[in-house]
Structure 1
Amino acid sequence: MTDRLPHFDAAAATPEQKAVLDEILSGPRGNLNGPFLGWIHSPELAQHAQRLGAFCRYQTGLPLRLSELAILVTAARWQAQAEWYIHYPIALQAGVREEDAQALLRGKRPAFTDADDALIYAFASELYDAKRVSDATYAQTVERFGHTVTINLVALLGYYALVAMTLNVFDMRAQGQATLPFAE
């Protein structure tokens, strides 16, 4: 998968590593695709990160379509090959329009037809570009989703930026990935 990390042999895993692997495999993900085989070299980080990730992916209060859209925005901003490869089909299945995803892939602002999609994109883009969110976008997001979900959206964006950084630094690819969505 990568030559930047030592090969991980599950048969030689420490008890801490085995506990993390078991929790990931028995949870809603059910697989180790993504950053987990990188993080497993630091099992305490892996445990905290995978639990945060499970929350951010499945329990933010956002509909799955909007969570996956936020993940695609993040993957495109970081040009995270594996993150895009893994989440693109999930996003389409969750209802993200293919033309919107393709615009993100090309680094363009999609021509959204759904106001919620446009709001998630605006929030994420402002946060990534300006390192802040404008008062107007913040107020719209809180009005539409409430404070708790807005806080969870920030966490989702931060978590998937961590995933993207991990995948990029360690040059990790998704299981079965033969093509790269972003030029290198």
Structure 2
Amino acid sequence: MTTRLPEFDPALATDEQKAVLDEILSGPRGNLNGPFLGWIHSPELAQHAQRLGAFCRYKTGLPLRLSELAILVTAARWQSQAEWYIHYPIALEAGLPAAIADAIHDNRPPVFEDADDALIFDFATQLFETKRVTDATFDQAVARFGHVTVINLVGLLGYYALVAMTLNTFGMRAQGQTKLPFPE
């Protein structure tokens, strides 16, 4: 799964590493797919990051479809092989049209039928491209979702950028991944 980190042997795990692994496996994810076997080499970071990730993935106030759309925008922006591989089927299962996901992957402008999808895409794209969000997009997001959810959306985008950076830096792949969605 990784080419730049020493292989992690759970039999040799420290108490701190075991605590992180137990919390991840007993939580809503139920697996270690993604950056966790990279982060586990720094158990304190792993613990903080996985807790933030559980919040960002499951408790932002956004419906799953919109969270997954934001994750796909992030994965495509970072060309994160494992992140895209893991979240593409989740996004489709959550109701995101494949045509939208495929356009994002191919860096083409998606055609949206749902105003919420367009708003999340615009928000995330503006933030990644210009490092800012326009007043119009911000105001529209707050009017639609409220300040707390917009704050959580920014957290979700930042968290999944951290995930992408981790996966890319350490050459990590998803469990069972044999194809790369982006050229290397």
Aligned positions of 1:43-122 closer than 5 A: 43-122=43-122
Structure 1 runs of 4+ aligned residues shifted over 6 Å read none
Aligned to 1:166: 166
Gapped runs of 5+ residues in structure 1?
A: none
2-side partners of 1:43 and 1:96: how far apart? 34
Aligned to 1:134: 134
Residue 2 of structure 1 deviates from its aligned partner by 1.8
2-side partners of 1:2 and 1:130: how far apart? 32
2-side partners of 1:3 and 1:69: how far apart? 28
2-side partners of 1:3 and 1:130: how far apart? 32
CA shift digits 1:141-178 (9 cap, x unpaired):
00000000000000000000000000000000000000
CA shift digits 1:12-67 (9 cap, x unpaired):
00000000000000000000000000000000000000000000000000000000
Residue type of the alignment partner of 2:152 = N
Structure 1 position 3 matched with structure 2 position 3: yes
1-side partners of 2:3 and 2:171: how far apart? 8
- SS of residue in 2 equivalent to 1:183: coil
Residue 94 of structure 1 deviates from its aligned partner by 0.2
Aligned to 1:143: 143
TM-score by length of 1: 0.99
Residue 3 of structure 1 deviates from its aligned partner by 2.3
- SS of residue in 2 equivalent to 1:127: helix
RMSD of Structure 2 on Structure 1 (CA): 0.4
Residue 109 of structure 1 deviates from its aligned partner by 1.7
1-side partners of 2:172 and 2:3: how far apart? 9
CA shift digits 1:49-106 (9 cap, x unpaired):
0000000000000000000000000000000000000000000000000000000110
2-side partners of 1:3 and 1:173: how far apart? 9
- SS of residue in 2 equivalent to 1:110: coil
